[in-house]
Chains A and B, each alone.
Chain A
Amino acid sequence: MITFESVTKRFADGTTAVHDLDLEISKGEVTILVGPSGCGKTTTLRMINRMIEATSGRIVVDGQDVRQVDPPQLRRGIGYVIQQVGLFPHRTIAQNIATVPELNGWDKRRTEARVAELLTLVGLPAEVLDRYPHQLSGGQRQRVGVARALAVDPPIMLMDEPFGAVDPIVRSRLQDEFLRLQQEVRKTIVFVTHDIDEAIKMGDRIAILQQGGVLAQYAPPDELLARPASDFVADFLGAERGLKRLALIPVSAVKAEPGPTVSPDDEGERARAVAEAFGSDWVVVVGDQRKLLGWAHVGEALERGRVGQATLRPFLLQVHADDSLRAALNAMVQSHTGVAVRVSDGDRYEGLVTQELLTREIT
Chain B
Amino acid sequence: MTDGPPTLLAAELVRWSWIGDHADDIRDALLQHLELTGLSVLAGTLLAFPMALTAVRWPRLYAPILGFTGALFTIPSIALFILLIPFTGLQIWTALIGLTIYTLLILVRNMVEGLRGVDRDVRESAQAMGYTPARQLFQVELPLALPVIIAGLRIATVTTIGLVTVTALIGWGGLGQLFITGFTLDFTTPLVVGIVLSALLAFSADLLLVGLQRGLTPWARTRGS
A→B interface (CB under 8 Å):
49, 51, 71-76, 80, 82, 84-92, 99-100, 103, 132, 134-135, 148, 158
Give the bracket for the number of chain B residues in contact with chain A: 20 to 34
Name 20 A/B residue pairs within 8 A (Cβ), A-sorted: A51-B127, A72-B130, A72-B131, A72-B132, A73-B130, A74-B130, A76-B130, A84-B119, A85-B121, A86-B124, A86-B128, A87-B122, A88-B125, A89-B119, A90-B143, A99-B129, A103-B131, A134-B222, A135-B222, A148-B129
Q: Is the CB of A103 within 8 A of B219?
A: no
A158 to B119, CA, bound (A): 20
Looking across the interface, which residue of chain B has its beta carbon closest to that of A46?
B128
Q: Is the CB of A132 within 8 A of B222?
A: yes
Give min CB distance, A135 to chain B, whole Å: 6
Give min CB distance, A42 to chain B, whole Å: 11
Give min CB distance, B225 to chain A, whole Å: 8
Does B126 sit within 8 A of A, measured CB to CB? yes
Q: Please classify the interface of chain A as helix (H, G, I), strand (E, B), loop, or mixed, using the class held by over half of its residues.
A: mixed
Give min CB distance, B148 to chain A, whole Å: 13
Contacts of A80 in B (CB 8 A): 125, 128-129
Does B149 sit within 8 A of A, measured CB to CB? no
B→A interface (CB under 8 Å):
119, 121-122, 124-132, 135, 140, 143-144, 217, 219-220, 222-223
Looking across the interface, which residue of chain A has its beta carbon closest to that of B142?
A90
Q: Please classify the interface of chain B as helix (H, G, I), strand (E, B), loop, or mixed, using the class held by over half of its residues.
A: helix
Q: Is the CB of B124 within 8 A of A103?
A: no
Given contacts A82-B121, A88-B122, A132-B222, contact A49 B132 (CB under 8 A): no
A183 to B122, CA, bound (A): 29
Contacts of A74 in B (CB 8 A): 130
Q: Is the CB of A91 within 8 A of B132?
A: no
Q: Which A-B residue pairs are the 9 nearest by beta carbons?
A: A86-B125, A76-B130, A86-B121, A80-B128, A75-B130, A84-B121, A72-B130, A132-B219, A90-B219
Q: Is the CB of B122 within 8 A of A51?
A: no
Most chain B CB atoms below 10 A, which of A73, A90, A99, A134: A90
A85 to B121, CA, bound (A): 7
Contacts of B222 in A (CB 8 A): 132, 134-135
